[in-house]
Amino acid sequence: MREKTIEQKLTRTIKKHGGLCLKFVSPGYDGVPDRIILLPNGKLAFAELKAPGKQMRPLQEYRKRQLEGLGFKVYVIDSIEAIGGVLSEIQST
């Protein structure tokens, strides 16, 4: 399965739950997560999408820790099956 397939499914799932799943591009600031997830009631998280079995690059891991240090949730999603659990966790916080 390709990363793009997982990303498309995540975007559709978030939209079905009344949210936005915006592509996150930050010129001049490499390694940021792929998507910002915005859900009703002010729920926010970041998502890094990976093909099954693929690992984050060191800079991506650093950015993940950096955002988590600021109090944000950052999820690494590498399967369609993981999307439901991530969505539930974001909604419960």
Calpha distance 80→5 (Å, rounded): 8
C-alpha separations of 57 from 48, 76, 82 in Å: 11, 12, 20
pTM of the complete model: 0.94
**Which domains can be identified in the chain, with CATH numbers?**
3-92 (3.40.1350.10)
* Residuewise pLDDT in 10s, the chain (93 residues): 899 999 999 999 999 999 999 999 999 999 999 999 999 999 999 999 999 999 999 999 999 999 999 999 999 999 999 999 999 999 998
